[in-house]
Amino acid sequence: AQSVSQHNHHVILSEAASLELGCNYSYGGTVNLFWYVQYPGQHLQLLLKYFSGDPLVKGIKGFEAEFIKSKFSFNLRKPSVQWSDTAEYFCAVHSGGYQKVTFGTGTKLQVIP
Amino acid sequence: NAGVTQTPKFRVLKTGQSMTLLCAQDMNHEYMYWYRQDPGMGLRLIHYSVGEGTTAKGEVPDGYNVSRLKKQNFLLGLESAAPSQTSVYFCASSRALSYNEQFFGPGTRLTVL
């Protein structure tokens, strides 16, 4: 079975600090990877996704993620966070043979002004 | 274009009562999903559907039933609610093939006393 691990459950940063959220998955074959974001009181929305090609993927609001196949990782990064980035971030993976996407447990990011 | 809508937004039930959550999408998506979100557990898939008239079990199907009689609607039923079913329930839809982006509804907050 595919699985996703997000090791950081709660991250607190000051504005302008750099962000890196970890995501590791278990499946060894072809994968499609996603980061979703849930702002306070809102529903989940797609931040970025990786299907193939360039392993460095750019998403909305200055976020990017790098797919490192050898490390089974898809870490989310942002050079300088803003207070408005306060949200919960979910990594998700779809792998061949599964008809569904598996979500990680989420990382709550709190940005202090 | 409303996207994915969920009814109701909030509900309080007593143990043993039944209810149905309604999810509707107007994007002509083939796939639909029901998740529950609990603190520290992330999103867990309850049931999903890959087309009208079809349903399948996810990670945590016990105590829930679903139906997809029309392509645009996906119903989640609780026959005999239990306090362990207190959660926030999200519906999502996507185009066919599970690696496509999922579009989420606003959620239903259910409390079972």
Chain B contact set for A43 (CB, 8 A) = 4, 90, 104-107
- A interface test, pick of B89, B93, B99 with most A CB neighbours within 10 Å: B99
> Cβ contact (<8 Å) for A103 and B43?
yes
Would the pLDDT of A57 be above 90? yes
Look up residue A42 and give its two tokens: 């809102």
Rg (CA), chain B: 13
Would the pLDDT of B100 be above 90? no
Would the pLDDT of A11 be above 70? yes
Chain A contact set for B99 (CB, 8 A) = 32, 51, 94, 101
Look up residue B100 and give its two tokens: 């496509």
> Cβ contact (<8 Å) for B102 and A105?
no
More confident residue, A8 or B1: A8
Task: Give mean pLDDT, residues B69-88.
Answer: 96
Task: Give mean pLDDT, residues B41-68.
Answer: 93
Beta strand A4-5 pairing with B19-25: unpaired
H-helix or E-strand containing A57?
strand A56-58
Look up residue B71 and give its two tokens: 């392509």
Distance CA B6, CA B76 (A): 11
Q: Is residue A19 classed exposed, middle or buried when 0-12, 13-18 and 19+ CB atoms within 10 A define those classes?
A: buried
pLDDT value of position B13? 96
Nearest in space to A95 (alpha carbons), one of A31, A13, A26: A31
Would the pLDDT of B39 be above 90? no
pLDDT value of position A5? 93
**Nearest by CB to A100, which of B41, B48, B104?**
B48
Q: Sorting pLDDT into bands at 50, 70 and 90, what band is A46?
A: very high
Q: Sorting pLDDT into bands at 50, 70 and 90, what band is A26?
A: confident
Provide residues of B within 8 Å CB-CB of chain A: 4, 33, 35, 40-45, 48, 50, 56, 58, 90, 92, 98-99, 101-102, 104-107
pLDDT value of position A111? 97
Q: Sorting pLDDT into bands at 50, 70 and 90, what band is A28?
A: low
pLDDT value of position A97? 62
Would the pLDDT of A99 be above 90? no
Q: What is the mean pLDDT of chain B?
A: 93
Q: What percent of chain A has pLDDT over 90?
A: 74
Task: Give mean pLDDT, residues B68-84.
Answer: 96
